[in-house]
Amino acid sequence: MTDVLPLSGKKFLLFVGEDYEDLELWYPKFRLEEAGAETVMAGLESGKTYLGKHGYPAVSEATIDSINSADYQGVICAGGWMPDKLRRFEKVLSLLTEFHESQKLIAAICHGGWMPISAGIYQGVKVTGSPGIKDDLINAGAIWEDASVTVDRHFVSSRRPGDLPDFCRGILEVLL
């Protein structure tokens, strides 16, 4: 059997922090790696173990402050309560702005949309997300869709863990 690794040589950032949604971080991480990509989990501290909402540990490999967007082809914004905390940090917002300006993948699922909202990059973008942040998305100027996945240019968004297969297919659609 010959492995086809279409994302070989590409690198993706995944934000990590306390109370991330376990599946929304790990499923895309493994799917990207399965396609040959390198992934880096970055948190406020490097080498720190962050626990997901369901207790699954994730160790950050880098600090968010040390990340250079030019080194990555995209970013994954998992949900949980983590996005509400991380969106308060200027470096998170500037990274998302840089990814947007370079038209690189910005993938947000569930409450992960809070980070692009705070970065001010959803104006006029078709998105979906947790119904709990629907009003936030609309107030940020996004065009709301209730769908398992919404792809608009380099933006990919989904509503909840049950949408992860479609979310990852949307990510691959943008990248390949």
Q: Show the tokens assigned to 126.
A: 């078709």
| Cα–Cα separations (whole angstroms), residue 141 to 15, 95, 106, 121, 168 | 23, 20, 17, 9, 25
Side-chain half-sphere CA neighbours of 101 within 13 A: 10
| Catalytic residue, candidates 54, 111, 154, 168 | 111
Look up 154 and say whether it is catalytic. no
Cα–Cα distance measured from residue 142 to residue 112, given in angstroms and rounded to the nearest whole number: 14
Determine phi and psi for 151, rounding to 5 degrees: -115, 125
Cβ atoms 104, 133 nearer than 8 A: no
Instruction: Tokens 């968004």: give the residue.
Output: 157
Residue 49: DSSP 8-state: E
| Catalytic residue, candidates 77, 100, 110, 168 | 110
Query: Which is it for the CA torsion 57, 63, 64, 68, positive or negative?
Result: negative
Instruction: Tokens 């979906």: give the residue.
Output: 128
Hey, is 40 helix, strand or coil?
Answer: strand
Look up 110 and say whether it is catalytic. yes
- Which are the catalytic amino acids? 110-111
